[in-house]
Structure 1
Amino acid sequence: MEFANLIDNLYERGSANFAIKLGLSRIEELVQRIGNPQNKFKIIHITGTNGKGSVTKAVSDIFIGQGMKVGTYISPHLVSITERIKVNSTNISENEFVQTYIEIEDAIKAMDNKGVDFSPSFFEIMTALAFKFFEKEKVDLAVLEVGLGGRLDATNVVNSDVSVITSIAIDHTKTLGDSLEKIAYEKAGILKKDNFLILGNIDHAPKKVILDKAEEVGVKKIFEYNKDFRYENPRFHINENMLNYKGLKLDLNDLQFKANGTFQMQNVTISLAAAEAFAEKYGINLSVDKLRDSMKNFFWEGRFDYTEINGKKLILDGAHNVAAAEQLKNSVEVYCSNDKKTAMIGILNDKDYINIAKIISPIFDKIIITSVPTSRGKDPAAVFEEFKKWNNNVEFIPDTSEAFMKLFSEKSDVYFVTGSLYLVGKIKEYLSTNLIFSK
C-alpha cells in the first residue's frame, strides 16, 4: 500500500470538511474492534475555541522534557498529514502511518460493509490510527486536541485524566450553536468523572454551564484561570517572550518561551497549570529546570509564527474567527506598531469574514485578498468587497501563489499571511518547495 494512495482514499471519505461526523457510535465501535488502544495510556484532553493547539503542544513539550514518552494528536495539519500524530515531537513516518492503517483496516472494512451510516469518517479513522500508534509505541501519556466541539468529537471516546477548556468564543455556529452557552455545553462534554479540570479565561455565563456539567459528571478538582493560576509581568519580544507564572504550587519568575502573540501568555499559563494538575494527580515531581528548558524552546507553527525569508520578515497567523482576529490585532499592535505592514488574507466559507474584516483591515497598510486552496474557501470576491470597506489599499489576486509573490514584491517592514490555517499551510508548503524563497 502506497502512502500517497492511502491518503487520497482517506480524503475521499471527506466532504467539504473532511467528514468530521459528529457522534460517538462509530468511533466507539471502531476502537472496540481494534482492542480499545486508548485505554492503554494516560490522557490529557484539550478543547476550546482558540488556544487548544498551542496548549496541546506546550503540555506535550513539558512532559517530554520531564522524561516521559508522549503521544500528541492535533488537527488540522499545515503541510503533511503526518503532523497530526507525533511521539516525543517526531511525526509518525509515512511507513508507520501505512503499517498502522493496515492493522486497523479490517475493522474499517467491516464497518464500511454495514452501510454508509456505519462507515467511519476521515477524522474517526485518524483518531483510531493515532490511538493504535500510541499503543504500539507504548507512550506514557497522550495529549489530545479535540477536532471540533468536544461532546460528540471522535477524541471523546477516551476516559481522560485531565480535561482542559482553553476558551469559549463564537465559531462553528452551525454545528456547535449560536451562543456562548451552547458552545460551552459542547466543550464541557469532554469532562469525566474523577478527572481534573483546567479552565481558561471564560466569561461568567458559559463558565456556569461548564461548572454545572463538572458537578453533574463528578469532576474531582477544578482549577480556574486568574483564581488558582495566573501570569504577571508579560514581556513581548519576537521569539523571546517572558512572563512570571503563579501556579497551583509553582511560582516561576522570568519564564521564557519562543511562541509569539499576546494570546500565548494565557496559553502558556493554562499549559503550565494543566501540567501541574496532571503531576498532582499522579504524584509527579516536576523538575523546574527541565520545565524551563522545555518552555524556552516552545513555539507553535502558524500562530504569529515569525520567520525571515531572504531578509524579509514574515509572520504567519491562522486567525480564522472573530476572537482570533482580535488576538491578531492586539499582537500586531504590541510587536509591530511602528512597522509598515502588508498582509495576504484568505478566509474559509464558514467564517464571519464581515466582522474579521472590520477588526483586522485597519491594522495593515496594504492588503492582498486571495483564495484559500480548499473546497471550504470563501468566495474571495466577497471577502475583497468587505475588506475594501475598511481599508482603501486592498488588491484582489485569486491565485494563491501569484498573490504571495505579489505580497513579497511590496515595500514593507513586515509581511503577514493570515485568515486561515489552510492558507498558512499552503504558504509553508510553497516556501519549502520554491528555491527563490528557500535560499
Structure 2
Amino acid sequence: MIDTYSEAVEWLYNRVNFERLGVGQYGRNDFKLERMQRLLEAIGNPQEQIPVVHIAGTKGKGTTATLVDSILREAGYRVGLFTSPHMFRIEERFLVNGCQISEERFLKLVSRMEDYVTQTREEAPELLPTFFEITTAMAWLYFIEEKVDLAVLEVGLGGRLDSTNLCRPLVTAISSISLDHTRLLGDTIASITREKAGIIKAGVPVVTSSTDPFVCEDLKAIAQQKGCSFQQIGHDFHAEIVKPWHEFDRFQTVRYSQTVLHETVSIEIQFSRPGQIYACNIALALACIEQLNQSGYEITNSQKQLGIRNASLPLRFEILQESPPILVDAAHNPAAFEALMEMLPEYFPNRPVTFILAISRDKDYVGMCQTLRGASSLILTQYLGNIRSLPTVELAEVVNQTGIHVTYNTESPAHALETALRVTPENGIIVASGSLFLAAEIRHLVKPESLIQSLPV
C-alpha cells in the first residue's frame, strides 16, 4: 500500500528503469509492446480516445514537441504533453496546458498502477511493466481525466517498440536522425531510420526535418507503402534565418514557408534560441500545425508566432546567468555535441570558453570527445545519483587520447561549477554540456528557485 507522495516516487523508481540502468543491463529483447498493450487494455485503452501529434527522431524531437504544445495552447486548445526524461521531478513528464499534476493526484495514479502490477505479478510476471511504460500509462490516464483536446507525444527511444507507439496520431513527425542508442537501434543510420519510422501508421501524414537524402528516401518509401502523404524540409516546407541571433539581442527571426493548395505561404517567427538546428525544429513544428489545420483545427499565424516566442525550453542553449554567462545544453550525442561546438564561436566570438563536461557511459562518448574544440579550460566531472554516468577518470582517459588537454578533474557538478567560476576570465563564458543530467544539475545549482517555480500551484 502506497500512502504518500514520496512512497509513490520511490515505488516508481523501483520499477525496471532503462533510463538509469548501466550498459549491459538490458538489450533489444527487453523492448516489446506486449507489456504496454496489456497495461493499456487494463485501464480502458485511453490512447484510443485522444488524437495525437507523435514525434520521433534523434535530436530536436523534444524541442519540436514543446513548440507544438505551446502553439496549440496559444490557440486555445487543452493540450497534454508527454516528454522524457525529466529534469527534477517525474511530474514534468506529463503536463496539461503547461501545468504539472498535483502530488495528490499523482499518488492516486501511482496507486492504481501498483494494483495493476500486483495483479500482473501473480498472473503474468513476464509482462510486468517498466518505469517508462507505467509513466506513459499514467500520462494517458491524466490526459483523459483532464479532458484534453489532443496530446503531443515525444517518443522515448527509437519508435517501433516505444510505449508511446500505441496511439492514434493525426500527424507523425520525425526530426533529424543520427547515430545514438546504437546497441539497441542498430549501428547504421539506415537501421536507426527504420526504427524511428516504426511510428508511421497507415494513412497518417508524415513530416520530417531530416536533411539527409538517404534518410528521407527511406522515410518516404515507408510512408508511401503505408499510404501516407510525405513532406520534408527543403522540398515541401522551408526555414530560412532572416535575422541571426546575437548575444545582446537573444532572438533570431526565421522565415517559414510552405506550399499549401498550390500557393506558397510564409510567416516570420521570432525565437529565443540560435541557429539552423532550431530553425529546423520550428519548421517541423509548423509543418505539424499545418497538418492539423488541414484536419479541421484552427490555428492562426499570430497564434503560431506567439506560441513559439513564448515556449519554455530549459536546458536547450539556455543562459542561466549573465556575469559570467553560464550556458547549459543537453546535447548528448556526437551530432548534437558537434553542432553546439560550432555554435559557440559563432554566437560568442572572441570569448574564452570554460567547458564543463560529463557524459553517460552508454553514449558515444568517444565520438563526442572527438568533436571537442575551442575550450580555454576543460573541466571534467560526473553527475550524481545515476550509474550511467561515466566516471571522471575514464572520461579523462578518453579526452586525453584525442590530444585535448584536460584542465581540471572534479568529483561533482557542484565542484565543477565552483572551479569554473574561479578560473573563468571576466570576458569568458561557462558552458556545461554532454548530458541532460549534468545540464539539469548545473541548472539547479545556479537557479535553485527554478525547482520551486516548476511545482503545481
Alignment TM class, shorter chain as reference: over 0.9
Tell me what 2:417 maps to.
Answer: 404
2:272 corresponds to 1:270: no
Q: What pairs with 1:21-420 in structure 2 (closer than 5 Å)? A: 21-219=30-228, 221-234=229-242, 235-238=244-247, 239-249=250-260, 251-280=265-294, 282-308=295-321, 311-360=323-372, 362-373=373-384, 374-388=386-400, 389-412=402-425, 413-420=428-435
Question: In structure 2, how many angstroms separate the alpha carbons of the residues matched to 1:60 and 1:117?
Answer: 36
User: Cα gap change, 1:384/1:262 in structure 2, threshold over 3 Å: closer, same or farther?
Assistant: farther
Distance 1:414 1:155 in 2: 39
One-letter amino acid of the structure 1 residue matched with residue 331 of structure 2:
A
Question: In structure 2, what is the Cα distance between the partners aligned to 1:290 and 1:15?
Answer: 38
For 1:217-262, what per-residue CA distance to the aligned partner results, in whole angstroms no more than 9, with x for missing partners?
Answer: 232x211111110112342235312111112447344410123454
**2:15 maps to amino acid:** R
Structure 2: which 5+ residue stretches go unaligned? none
SS at match of 1:188: helix
Distance, in Å, in 2 between the alignment partners of 1:337 and 1:109 is 58
Q: Distance in 2 between matches of 1:31 and 1:273?
A: 30
| Matching of residues 420-439 of structure 1 within 5 Å | 420-433=435-448
Q: Identity over aligned residues, as a percent?
A: 29
CA–CA separation in structure 2 for the residues paired with 1:156 and 1:2 = 31
Q: Sort the Cα spacing of 1:104 and 1:371 in 2 relative to 1 into closer, same or farther, 3 A.
A: closer
Count of residue pairs brought into register by the alignment: 432
Matched AA of 1:57: T
- With 94-103 and 246-255 compared, the bigger mean Cα shift is at 246-255
Q: Structure 2 vs 1, CA of residues 418 and 376 (structure 1 numbering), >3 Å: closer, same or farther?
A: same
* 1:30–1:108 contact (8 Å) kept in structure 2: no
Q: Which range moves more in the overlay, 71-80 or 350-359? A: 350-359
How far is 1:434 from its partner?
A: 8.8
Q: Secondary structure at the match of 1:117?
A: helix
TM-score with structure 1 length normalisation? 0.93
CA 1:232/1:261 → structure 2, altered by over 3 Å: closer, same or farther? closer
Structure 1 residue 49: deviation in Å?
0.5
CA contact (8 A) 1:255 1:295 kept: yes
Secondary structure of residue in 2 paired with 1:306: strand
Check conservation: 1:261, 1:328, Cα contact below 8 A: no
Alpha-carbon distance in structure 1 between the residues aligned to 2:147 and 2:167: 17
Question: In structure 1, the residue corresponding to 2:126 is in which secondary structure?
Answer: coil
